[in-house]
Structures are given as C-alpha cells and as structure tokens.
Structure 1
Amino acid sequence: MRANFRLQRLFVQDDIRPGTAVPVDDGQYNYLHNVLRMEDGAELLAFNGRDGEWLMRLRYPSKKRILLEPVELTRPQPEPCDLHYLFAPLKVGRLDYLVQKAVEMGAGVLQPVLTQHVQGKIGSIDRLRANAVEATEQCGILAIPDVREPVRLVSLLEGWDASRRIIYCDEGAETNNPMSALGGIAEKHLALLIGPEGGFSTEEQTLLRGLPFVTAIPLGPRILRADTAAVAAMAIIQATIGDWH
C-alpha cells in the first residue's frame, strides 16, 4: 500500500493502540504547534516502526501539551528491509546525505565500517539515527533501520555470517558492467559495502577478494564519489536481485 503524502507524518516512540492516546515530545510539540500551527482536531499520520501507520487526531489537553488519538490503521507494519549497508564514514554533510539515501533505497541496517583509508568519522550515532528517522518520515517508510556502532573492517569480516553475501564496488574490475557478477548471486540475504573516498587499501582488497561470501562489482567507466557510488550500487542491486521486482 502506497504512502499518503497529503498528511503530515510523525515518528513516535510509544506503542500505538486503539483507545490509547500517544504523547509527543517537546521538539515535536514545537514543530506541530509553533511551526505547522496545527489546531485541536487536526489529523496526521504516525508510526513507530512496530505497529504500522495510523491516522491520528491531534488533541490539546493543555496549552503546553499535545496528545495524538489513534483513529484507524492506514497501513500495516511490513517486514523490515533486509539489505545491510556497510559504509566507511564521510564528512558530516555528505554522511547525512548518505544515510538518508540509504534509508530511501531500502537499507534495513546501517553499519559504519572503519577502513585503513577512512577520512570521515562518526561523531554521533544519535545523529545518524535521527537522520534515518527523518528519512522514514519524509519518504513514507514504516520500518526504522537498525543503526549500529562503528566496527573495523577486519573485525566485521571475521565475525560475518557467510549466508549473507557482501557485494562491494571494485574500481579494478576488468569490466564496466555489474550485471554479470550480480546475475550469479543466489543468496537472498545481501549486504553492500562501500569503501572510503581514498578506496580500500591493498591489504583490504586482498582480504575481500579472498573471501567466498564476497562479490566484487564495477560501477561503470567513471570514478564516482563514495556517496554517489552508494546510491548507484543500491539501485542496481535492488533492481536486479533485491526487492524492487
């Protein structure tokens, strides 16, 4: 069922149940009351990543408080997105963009990965999570991605579940077409690994190429920035072996 973008969408922390009003936090109160100037009885959509999307009616029990009354379920909660997105951190502005686009493209897990040539850093996991939630609000997505703590690439690979294939972008591939490599993948559970702007080190390339659960793909004849490569790779994966079909 498609999202309804005519109504304001809001992520809430509390359970959503018929007959039980849901409070909003101070930031949401300011946004609904002072920015949007929503009046008592106004309607909006709310979701929490667990109970689906609900039509809610806004109520003011006092001047400084807003409650949301569940009216009806508009969309049931879908299965969480299964694509894992593994990425080397970028500079803050581009990192925000990267997280938002990954959520829009169907990433269910966001895993920062520390590589030898990484140039950015994760200043705040809470900021990443807030960006992920904002992306779900804006794009009609109901499942909230799992944003994980950064981990070193070697440690990640050592503990990896081999039933989930990792696809990574390799600038040194002999071809420019990723379709042949993707066409041979039989696994249903997938992860996409995007390296830093400086690329993977020689040691990391050797490690990745030697693992049976890792597949390297090219992204065409042009050199792409890391955030551009992430969007391009996710689009190709979702269209060929992901959930778009």
Structure 2
Amino acid sequence: MRENYTLTRLYVDTPLNAGAAVTLEPAQAHYLGTVLRKSVSDTVRIFNGHDGEWAAEISMLSKRGGSLIVTDPLRRHHDAPDIWLVFAPVRKHRTAFIFEKATELGVSKFVPVITARTQFAKLNTDKARAQIIEAAEQTERLDLPEVAKPKKLDSLLDNWDKGRRIIFADEAGGGHSVLDILRNYSGPCALLIGPEGGFTEAERDRLLNMDCVDAVSLGPRILRADTAAISLLTLWQSAQGDW
C-alpha cells in the first residue's frame, strides 16, 4: 500500500514468512538505531530478492546488532524484465555509477567483459553487489540483478546462447537507428557497451558477423561508456521493458 512507502526499507539474506526472525547486520543495526533513531517496536520494510516485500518489527537493537520479527506481507515478488547489460569495466566511480543506475533502470544481469582496450579489468564483485543492494533498497525493486564474473570478450562470444540477441552500441557509427531496432524487438536480449577507446576492428568484425547481433547507433556524439550504457538501457525500457 502507498502509505508503507515511507517506511525504511532493507535487504536481508533470510527466508521471509510471517513470524520469522531476522538477524540484522551490525551496519544495518547502526543505520536504524544511530542514523535513523529507530527503536524497538518500530516497523520497517524488508525484502530478500525472491519472497516479496514484508513488514517487520524491530525486536532488539544495540550497537552490536539487532533483530526483526516478520509480520505482514506487503507486495508479492516479481522479476524485472529479462535484459542483460554486457559492459567493459571503466574507472571505479564510473563503474559504480553503472551498477547503481542500471539497477534503478531494471537490468536483470550484469556481465562485465574484458576487451582489448579495457583499462580497468579488475572488478570487486562483492563491492558491486553492495552497490546493487543499496540501489535496490532505494528504488523499490523486489529482485536483485545478478553479477557475473568478468570474462574475456572472445570467451563470452564463443559460448553465447544464440537465443539471446545482442544489441551492440557501435561507436564507429555504422549501426541502425536504435529506436527502429528496439520497436521491432522481442525475446531475451543483452545490451553491449564497449570500453573507453571503443572496440578494435577485429572485435567489431566478429560482432558484426554474428547472426544474433544488431549494431545500433546512439547518435552523432561519442558517449562515455557509462552514459552509453544508461542511455541504451533507458531506450530499451521505453520500447521493450516495463515502462
């Protein structure tokens, strides 16, 4: 119900059902007790990514931790649309931006890919998951997008499921109008964004020769990788997603 949206919302890694006890992480207890000044018997909202959203009452709160008792169901679970974001990691703060904003925009899976020009190949998936959880808590998502381990582009394409089409943001300008492609799209899809500096000619050739790839243009300007990712995902959601 709408009035519940004002309640604090937390992700918990615990099965949820009426009467269940939930142990809070120390950071969550600190946030509730010290930052928000919550106390025992106050109500919060919780979700775990697959059991929907529930109301829960604070049963214990201290500096070292706390606990909740699950009370009432609020919303049934539903998954985001089946859209993957395949992207080359960039600088830490820009990669964090991609995780945060793409989670807000409803991506279902992140697939980091290492290309010939990827400058920042290392990716802390635990930190990425924390960024995703925070974004999901703030934006009313009931599910959490998956984060795959980084994989080299050739290896990824070698094992690609041809039933999932790839929309390739071609910075070289040879792609079709993105809206023309998206308006006639259906089925599982992945959005592919390259690194700063773009794909090599060999990488482009391989992609363009795959039957499951559609190259699209994002306009006359060269966009940063994070801008391109969010722009393409926004267009996809408008044409094919849950908007």
Q: Percent identity?
A: 39
Match for residue 199 of structure 1?
198
Alpha-carbon shift at residue 80 of structure 1 (Å): 4.3
Match for residue 182 of structure 2?
182
How far apart, in 2, do the equivalents of 1:228 and 1:133 lie? Answer: 21
Q: Is the 8 A contact 1:129 1:147 kept in 2?
A: yes
How far apart, in 1, do the equivalents of 2:190 and 2:208 lie? Answer: 15
Change (3 A) 1:111 1:175: closer
TM-superposition CA deviations, 1:98-142 (whole Å, max 9, x none): 111111111111110000001223341101111111110111101
Match for residue 225 of structure 2?
226
Match for residue 125 of structure 1?
125
Amino acid aligned to 1:98? I
Amino acid aligned to 1:57? E
Change (3 A) 1:65 1:226: closer
Amino acid aligned to 1:183? R
TM-superposition CA deviations, 1:12-65 (whole Å, max 9, x none): 011111111111111111111222221111111000001100111111177744
Match for residue 136 of structure 1?
136
Report matched runs for 1:46-61 at 5 Å: 46-60=46-60
Calculate the TM-score normalised by the size of structure 1: 0.93
Match for residue 216 of structure 1?
215
Unmatched 5+ residue regions in structure 1?
none
- Is 2:92 aligned against 1:92? yes
SS at match of 2:19: coil
Alpha-carbon shift at residue 238 of structure 1 (Å): 1.3
Match for residue 22 of structure 1?
22
Amino acid aligned to 1:37? R
Amino acid aligned to 1:233? L
Q: Is the 8 A contact 2:39 2:61 kept in 1?
A: no
TM-superposition CA deviations, 1:154-188 (whole Å, max 9, x none): 11011011111010111233577322233343x31
Change (3 A) 1:153 1:236: same
Unmatched 5+ residue regions in structure 2?
none
How far apart, in 2, do the equivalents of 1:53 and 1:197 lie? Answer: 39
Calculate the TM-score normalised by the size of structure 2: 0.94
Alpha-carbon RMSD: 1.9
Amino acid aligned to 1:220? G
Amino acid aligned to 2:238? A
How far apart, in 2, do the equivalents of 1:51 and 1:148 lie? Answer: 22
Q: Is the 8 A contact 1:3 1:140 kept in 2?
A: no
Q: Is the 8 A contact 2:19 2:70 kept in 1?
A: yes
TM-superposition CA deviations, 1:59-80 (whole Å, max 9, x none): 1177744211112111111034
**How many residues align structurally?**
243
Report matched runs for 1:33-182 at 5 Å: 33-60=33-60, 64-174=64-174, 177-182=177-182
